[in-house]
């Protein structure tokens, strides 16, 4: 039996290959410093775990969840957006609960686009954005993100033909993989562009909690008119170290939310209610755990910058996310340099080319190991005499 054309047209899963290479090295007994992962290394805060423990003892949570999530979590998402961003959200019409926001990002082209429509994606960008296009049977266009422009797309570079077909655009700030951030002026410009071109916007706010130098990342929905043209995806994976819990939500444009909810009505039967109650606790309880986590990532970032500078590796400090985007030395492609570091120094990094052609010339490094391991990694690289 052959796979369907949709499955055959799916892109190669970049992260699966990266994990396989790293795991092989570890199984060989090598002391690998894993800077390639995007998996939070800190535990879920205790009060969230206790909320789950309490909820799971209630037999009511053992039943099917309502298809569109429990009202407690939808209200918590609305309250979270009001508290953090002063954005009003209707919990009944403007919230979609998901088993992780990756699901929503892959589902949306199926829910909103037709074969003649075009999906706009950032390059470099999160590789799984590409998955929705072949599943939906639609085309996509890549928007180049240039370092000279702060890794923000230049909408003037999009041709009239592309603008005419484009119906959906994905953005992601703080950005994976570059660590770049966007400001309100850029989102204001995006709203205006969307209205001018009858375009829907999806802002992937996965790293919304992680901003450095005292600057909190801006929500797309804080721009006037944003809810008229788009939605924002928010995952609990990064903010609360809940990656394995698989829970997130989307908020914003009511028709886009309804499209997400409708397709999920047919694909899923809801998320374990106890996990939803724990997520509600995370969103509404004291947020000191989030502040502490951001401080931890900033300290790791500063150590990385200091150590790279010490060995002559000129890098730009990320302004958000828990990633750093590092230029590679001459004589390598991104993939070759990543393989070289794993082979010669037992250091795993993510090749920039895995995030699109625009990522060539860089590697992505995660701030997801202890400071001492960051120091050791740079010490190992120093011994390779590359800089």
Given this model, what pLDDT does residue 357 score?
95
According to the model, what pLDDT value does residue 125 have? 97
Whether residue 387 is contained in a domain is answered as no
**Burial grade of 334 (CB within 10 A; 0-12, 13-18, 19 or more):** buried
pLDDT in the model for residue 12: 83
Question: CA-to-CA distance for 318 and 333, rounded, in angstroms?
Answer: 22
- 29 & 63 share domain: no
Q: Are residues 326 and 183 in the same domain?
A: no
- Strand 230-235 relative to strand 347-348, pairing: unpaired
Are 226 and 144 members of one domain? yes
Specify whether 53 is located in the same domain as 16.
no
pLDDT of 19 above 90: no
Please report the pLDDT score of residue 76 as a whole number.
Answer: 98
- Last-in-domain residue among 254, 284, 314: 284
Residue 221 in this model has a pLDDT that exceeds 90 = yes
> Does the CA dihedral 142-147-149-152 come out positive or negative?
positive
The per-residue pLDDT for range 329-340, each reduced to its tens digit, is 999 999 999 999
Residue 66 carries which DSSP code? P
Residue 372: strand, helix, or coil: helix
Domain count, the chain: 2
Residues 84 and 9 in one domain: no
For residues 323 and 205, state if they share a domain: no
Same domain, 96 and 37: no
pLDDT at 18 over 90: no
Q: Does residue 347 share a domain with residue 307?
A: yes
Choose the final residue of a domain: 284, 308, 332.
284
The residues that bridge with 143 in the sheet, in sequence order, are 122
Q: Is 159 exposed, middle or buried (0-12, 13-18, 19+ CB in 10 A)?
A: exposed
Query: Does 228 fall in a domain?
Result: yes
Model confidence over 114-143: pLDDT tens digits?
Answer: 999 999 999 999 999 999 999 999 999 999
E strand spans, 242-302 = 248-252
17, pLDDT greater than 90: no
Identify the weakest region by mean pLDDT among 86-90, 244-248, 266-270, 364-368: 266-270
**128 part of a folded domain:** yes
pLDDT digits (tens, 9 = 90+) for 45-94: 999 999 999 999 999 999 999 999 999 999 999 999 999 999 999 999 99
- pLDDT score of 37: 86
Find residue 324's DSSP bridge partners.
365
Give the integer Cα–Cα distance in Å for 118 and 106.
Answer: 15
**3-class secondary structure, 203:** strand
Indicate whether 15 and 136 sit together in one domain.
no
CATH code: domain of residue 71: 3.40.640.10
25 and 106, same structural domain?
A: no
Residue 50: inside a domain: yes
374 domain-assigned: yes
DSSP letters for 302-368: HHHHHHHHHTT---PPPSBSSEEEEEPPTT--HHHHHHHHHHHH-EE-EEGGGG-GGGTTEEEEE--
Q: Which residues pair with 33 in a beta bridge?
A: 347
Among 245, 264, 284, residue at a domain's last position: 284
- On whether both 210 and 258 belong to a single domain, the answer is yes
CATH number for position 25: 3.90.1150.10
Q: Rounded to whole angstroms, how far apart are CA atoms 200 and 117?
A: 12
Q: What is the rounded CA–CA span in Å between residue 195 and residue 201?
A: 10
My answer on whether 276 and 295 are in the same domain is no
Which structural domain, as residue segments, surrounds residue 114? 46-284
Using CA atoms, how far apart are residues 88 and 82, in angstroms rounded to an integer?
Answer: 6
270 pLDDT more than 90: no
């Amino acid at each position: 039996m052959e796979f369907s054309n949709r499955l055959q047209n799916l892109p190669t899963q970049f992260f699966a290959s990266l994990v396989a290479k790293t795991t092989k090295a570890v199984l060989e007994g090598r002391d690998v410093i894993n800077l390639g992962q995007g998996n939070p290394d800190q535990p879920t805060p205790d009060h969230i775990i206790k909320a789950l423990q309490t909820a799971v003892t209630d037999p009511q949570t053992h039943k099917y969840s309502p298809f569109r999530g429990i009202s407690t979590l939808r209200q918590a998402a609305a309250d979270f957006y009001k508290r953090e961003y002063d954005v009003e959200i209707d919990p009944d019409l403007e919230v979609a609960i998901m088993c992780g926001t990756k699901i929503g990002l892959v589902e949306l082209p199926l829910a909103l686009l037709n074969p003649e429509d075009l999906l706009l994606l950032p390059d470099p960008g999160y590789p799984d954005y590409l998955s929705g296009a072949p599943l939906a049977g639609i085309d996509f266009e890549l928007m180049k993100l240039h370092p000279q422009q702060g890794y923000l797309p230049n909408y003037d570079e999009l041709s009239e033909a592309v603008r005419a077909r484009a119906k959906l655009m994905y953005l992601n700030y703080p950005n994976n993989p570059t660590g770049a951030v966007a400001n309100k002026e850029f989102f204001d410009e995006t709203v205006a562009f969307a209205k001018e071109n009858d375009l829907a916007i999806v802002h992937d706010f996965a790293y919304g909690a992680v901003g450095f130098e005292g600057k909190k990342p801006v929500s797309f929905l804080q721009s006037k008119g944003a809810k008229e043209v788009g939605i924002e995806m928010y995952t609990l994976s990064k903010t609360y170290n809940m990656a394995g819990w698989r829970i997130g939500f989307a908020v914003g444009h009511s028709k886009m939310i309804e499209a997400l909810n409708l397709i999920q009505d047919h694909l899923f039967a809801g998320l374990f209610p106890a996990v939803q109650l724990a997520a509600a606790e995370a969103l509404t309880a004291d947020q000191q755990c989030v502040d502490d986590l951001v401080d931890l990532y900033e300290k790791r970032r500063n150590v990385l910058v200091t150590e790279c500078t010490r060995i002559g590796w000129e890098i730009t400090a990320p302004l958000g996310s828990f990633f750093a985007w590092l230029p590679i030395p001459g004589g390598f492609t991104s993939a070759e340099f990543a393989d070289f570091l794993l082979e010669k120094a037992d250091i795993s990094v993510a090749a920039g080319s895995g995030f699109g052609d625009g990522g060539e010339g860089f590697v992505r490094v995660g701030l997801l190991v202890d400071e001492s391991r960051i120091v050791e990694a740079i010490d190992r690289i120093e011994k390779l005499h590359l800089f």
